[in-house]
Amino acid sequence: MSVKIRMMRMGRRHRPFFRINAIDSRTPRDGRIIEKLGHYDPIEKDPAKQVVLKIDRVKYWLEKGAIPSDSIAELLKRQGIKTEYVAKRRARRKRARQAARAKKLPFTKAEKIAAGHFKPETRGEAEPAAPSA
């Protein structure tokens, strides 16, 4: 059985709240939870209450081979729990950036916008009307 450590969105509109769970990777996105490992409340002012984790259980699942999602890996890093997954992801991203630079291709979204690959998103602005003939 392969396990992932993921966040599940709970909250409501304009009030995000996430549960951190160990989930069997073969189940659907909001499928069966193996174990609840904590929660994350990004609105909370007190940093000690913002991320609440059962650290011993998180370490247990990581030792068993659980793969944390990108956001969970960053939260764990802030809590002082290092995973090899974060280092591997950074190394992959660095190699991809170097390959793009070698080919003189834009890599970041800002570089792509500057190069004219796509237009930046405009919210709420109407498209200019076509000139009438």
In a domain, 122, yes or no: no
- 42 and 89 assigned to the same domain: no
pLDDT along the chain (133 residues), means of 10: 82 89 82 89 90 93 89 88 82 91 88 80 60 58
In a domain, 94, yes or no: yes
Q: Which domain holds residue 30?
A: 3-82
pLDDT (0 to 100) of residue 60:
93
- 40 and 93 assigned to the same domain: no
Q: Name the pTM for this structure.
A: 0.67
Name the strand (E) or helix (H) holding 59: helix 55-63
* Strand stretches in 1-133, DSSP E: 3-9, 18-24, 33-40, 51-53, 67-68
Give residues with Cβ within 8 angstroms of 44, minimum separation 6: 50
pLDDT (0 to 100) of residue 1:
63
